[in-house]
């Protein structure tokens, strides 16, 4: 049994895997209320690849987007992630009461969470469909 087949047998609320290949099991995943997050590279170097992944993901998930975080040791200083879901928006489902209970965080806040999805125009224009799918929730 592969690790992926083992993971898919368990009713997870969140599945994160380090692969840009969203074709791994999407038909199985889209049946539930899943959030799929995949490493998405840096938009400074891989805008075309990011657009291809998002365009593919939009065929399966109506809510898709790219977000990023700052990582000084990563090439270009940031790394991105692809967010996909059939039911949950990463911008609409922030639980502010729950976030307030997270004490002593030095980086995360609901404002930082929302800002991670604000992208330069050249990134938004590379995958207009993904950009539109998230704008519905801003």
pLDDT digits (tens, 9 = 90+) for 109-123: 889 988 998 888 888
Mean pLDDT of the chain: 77
User: Residue 58: its pLDDT value, please?
Assistant: 87
Q: Where are the domains of the chain?
A: 3-132
Q: What integer is the mean pLDDT of 126-138?
A: 64
Residues contacting 79, CB < 8 A, separation 6+: 39, 40, 41, 42, 68, 69, 71
User: Residue 79: its pLDDT value, please?
Assistant: 92
**Residue 126 pLDDT exceeds 90:** no
Confidence band for 96, pLDDT divided at 50, 70 and 90: confident
Q: How far apart are CA 36 and CA 24, in angstroms?
A: 11
**Residue 124 pLDDT exceeds 50:** yes
User: Residue 90: its pLDDT value, please?
Assistant: 85
User: Any idea which fold 3-132 has?
Assistant: Rossmann fold (3.40.50)
pLDDT digits (tens, 9 = 90+) for 20-30: 554 444 444 44
């Amino acid at each position: 049994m592969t690790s992926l087949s083992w993971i898919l047998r368990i009713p997870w609320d969140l599945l994160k895997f380090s692969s840009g290949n969203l074709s791994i099991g999407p038909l199985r995943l889209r049946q539930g209320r899943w959030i799929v997050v995949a490493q998405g590279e840096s938009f400074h170097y891989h805008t075309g690849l990011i657009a291809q992944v998002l365009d593919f993901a939009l065929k399966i998930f109506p809510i898709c987007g790219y977000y990023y975080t700052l990582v000084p040791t990563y090439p270009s200083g940031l790394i991105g992630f692809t967010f996909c879901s059939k039911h949950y928006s990463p911008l609409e489902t922030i639980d502010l009461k729950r976030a307030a209970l997270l004490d002593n965080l030095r980086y995360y806040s609901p404002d930082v969470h929302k800002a991670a999805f604000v992208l330069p125009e050249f990134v938004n224009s590379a995958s207009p469909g993904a950009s539109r799918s998230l704008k519905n929730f801003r």
